[in-house]
Amino acid sequence: MKLFSFLWNGEAQLGPPIIMCTRSYPEYGEGCADGECAMDSSAENGNSCDSSGPARRDSRLMGSASVISREEQFEDYGEGEDVDFTPSSPCPEEETRTNGFSDLGSSLPSSAGQTPQKMRQLYNSELLDIYCSQCCKKVNLLNDLEARLRNLKANSPNRKITSTAFGRQLFQANHSVFGWSQGSSTEDLFTDSIESCDLDITDKVSYLEKKVTELESDNLANSDLKSKLKQENTHLVHRVHELEEQVKDAEARADQSLQEETKRHREAFSKMDRDRNLEIDLLSNRLQLLEEENGEMKISVCRLKSQTEKLDQEKQRMTDKLEDTGLRLKDEMDLYRKIMDKLWQNRHEFNKEKEAMQELIDDLRRELDYLQLFKMEMEHPGQGKSLSRTRETEMEHEVKRLKQENFKLRDQNEDLNAQILSLSLYEARNLFSCPSKAQCLAAEIDNASRDELVDALKEQEEINLRLRQYMDKIILAILDHNPSILEIKG
């Protein structure tokens, strides 16, 4: 936002107008078309005074024309100082600003060249009477406002408006005002502007105070915002530095950990590769050994198949032979039973005959004793009784001894009978009555070799032969000595 104001300064006499240009901060210029918005105070006052009457508008137009005519001299003045209105006395602060308006005088009417000398005459004569104490106070107030605006503009970070743009805006704002007065003289315009100065200065002062207050508040707000932004920027810069250091440290740690992890994985991979190669070598050697063993096992399988076939044939032959032996054993057991039956019958008959003979012997012995006693009594009548008594005593002792021997022989007979029966019938009973024993024998035959089966068969045949001979001898001995042993008690 740009503000242009034309101020009149004077203490003893009127001086040149003060031309001030202020520019707001960038955020206040969003509504302008070219990025800047110009406001001419004379044009602004002219727009506001259109409703108040044509007389005031004419005087205001004449004041603006006098300002433009003075700008042809490229001069400015300071705060509250009397300035000689000559081309060689510009104000140092406004020199750079007013020099940019030199091209503006070429667009004014030709009568403007006569303005400086006539204006001096007006200052020295009749215009001094118009300047009053009230105007001096207002001018001083305006100078104070101008100083404050200069201070704000000096402290403002924004760039100043260029002289070309300022002249172009000033010319465009006042071109329509001066279009009707090109044929009139500059003296008339200056006179009219002096008359309208008192009317415009109050509005300009209030307006400038308002603008100065707004600019000061904006400046303070922007200063606070700038200090806050600086602090935040400093804090963010420190934070950025800290984060950069942390990122660098993290990157260094990540690189170090990556290197360590890569090294560890490389070592682990090399170790796994060595282990794998070693395991492959071991498995290759083991596979080779297993292939050799497989070949040997195939040869052994073929050989064992042939041996198995032979053993099956031999087993079949031995099984047949065992069946024949079993049949033979069964026949022998039948024969043994028949013999035992016949033996029992013979023994029973023998016992009967023995009992009969024993009775006969007892009768004959009693008869003999009786005859011997009778003979002794006949020969020696007194000794027969004593001899008969001693003979009876001896006979009683003999009878007791025979009874004891008979009991002992009976016990021996029972023991021998049990042993004979257990020895003769044990094997046959186990083979034919117990299927598990037959299965065990068949399993032993299946697992045994041919030579073992042949040796076992021969040994069994010899045992059977010896057992048969032993049984025959026992039977004959019993029959010869004590046939009652073979008796079967019911």
Letter string b/e over residues 96-131, b meaning 16 or more CB atoms within 10 A of that residue's CB: ebbebbeebbeebbebbeebbeebeebbeeebeeeb
Matching residue, tokens 């137009």: 61
390 closest CA partner among 378, 405, 373: 373
- 490 residues of the chain, pLDDT tens digit each: 333 433 443 333 334 444 344 444 333 333 333 333 333 433 334 433 343 443 444 444 344 434 334 433 333 434 343 433 333 333 334 333 333 333 333 333 333 344 444 444 544 444 444 445 666 777 777 787 778 777 776 665 554 555 565 555 555 555 544 444 444 444 555 455 555 555 667 787 788 888 888 888 888 888 888 888 989 999 999 999 999 999 999 999 999 999 999 999 999 999 999 999 999 999 999 999 999 999 999 998 999 899 889 988 988 888 888 888 888 888 887 887 887 787 788 777 877 877 877 788 777 777 777 777 777 777 766 555 566 677 777 777 877 887 787 778 777 777 776 676 666 666 655 655 555 555 555 666 667 677 777 787 788 788 878 877 877 777 777 777 766 666 655 4
Residue 420 makes CB contacts below 8 A (sequence gap 6+) with 471, 474
Asked if 153 and 160 touch (Cβ cutoff 8 Å), the reply is yes
Residue 102 makes CB contacts below 8 A (sequence gap 6+) with 74
pLDDT of residue 455: 80
* DSSP-derived 3-state class of residue 58: helix
Q: Cα(first)–Cα(last) distance of the chain, in Å? A: 155
Distance of alpha carbon 259 from alpha carbon 269, whole angstroms: 15
CB atoms near residue 209 (< 10 Å): 15
Distance of alpha carbon 298 from alpha carbon 292, whole angstroms: 10
pLDDT of residue 302: 92
Matching residue, tokens 């140092």: 92
* Token code pair at residue 354: 């023995």
Q: Which helix (H) or strand (E) holds 374?
A: helix 186-379
Q: Which helix (H) or strand (E) holds 133?
A: helix 133-155
- HSE value, Cβ hemisphere, 13 Å, CA-based, for 336: 17
Distance of alpha carbon 345 from alpha carbon 326, whole angstroms: 28
Distance of alpha carbon 100 from alpha carbon 163, whole angstroms: 4
pLDDT of residue 433: 57
166 closest CA partner among 24, 352, 65, 20: 20
Residue 157 makes CB contacts below 8 A (sequence gap 6+) with 25, 226
pLDDT of residue 465: 82
Matching residue, tokens 């603006």: 64
pTM of this structure: 0.23
